[in-house]
Structure 1
């Protein structure tokens, strides 16, 4: 899923540059940052998301949707800067069928 699809004229590079500027303005890094994703209820997808956070200090919680079709994932992660947040979003963007909130 592309998280920059709200503006079809914006390139991924432009989107991430803008996001980095907004993150830097709105946050006092280093800090805990909350990532939220939704994936199909599939162990492989869930494992792929968990792998994104390998090597980070994190707390991850999951919740299955009412009908069991999806899993929501909340990850509270200690990040050093906006670049690390973007790196995680880019890694998540490589997972097919992921929704980033």
Structure 2
């Protein structure tokens, strides 16, 4: 059931990205992750060698880190591919 939900989500996202954006384009990802060095480094590794600009900000209590990633991509499939890679990191919330 969860897999179908993900497939539907990505199908809608892909259609929206095609309709709303002229590709290639910059895309802004926003993630919230428990403040854990390995998880944050995992996100950074996913965007290594892409020319991405990555900004991190610690929450007030320091338990979470928000991560913004601005990256130039060629199309919606690349956007979705990165979301899927990041979703493999436990505890990450994609906004």
TM-score (normalizing by structure 1): 0.87
User: Which of these residues, 23, 29, 32, is aligned with residue 35 of structure 1?
Assistant: 29
Match status 1:51 vs 2:45: yes
Report what 1:77 is aligned to. 71
Q: List structure 1 segments (4+ residues) > 6 angstroms apart after TM superposition.
A: none
Report what 1:26 is aligned to. 20
TM-score (normalizing by structure 2): 0.92
Gaps of 5+ in 2: none
CA RMSD of aligned residues (A): 1.2
Deviation at 1:74, TM superposition (A): 0.4
Match status 1:93 vs 2:80: no
User: Which of these residues, 1, 11, 16, is aligned with residue 17 of structure 1?
Assistant: 11
Q: Which structure has the highest helix share of the two?
A: 2
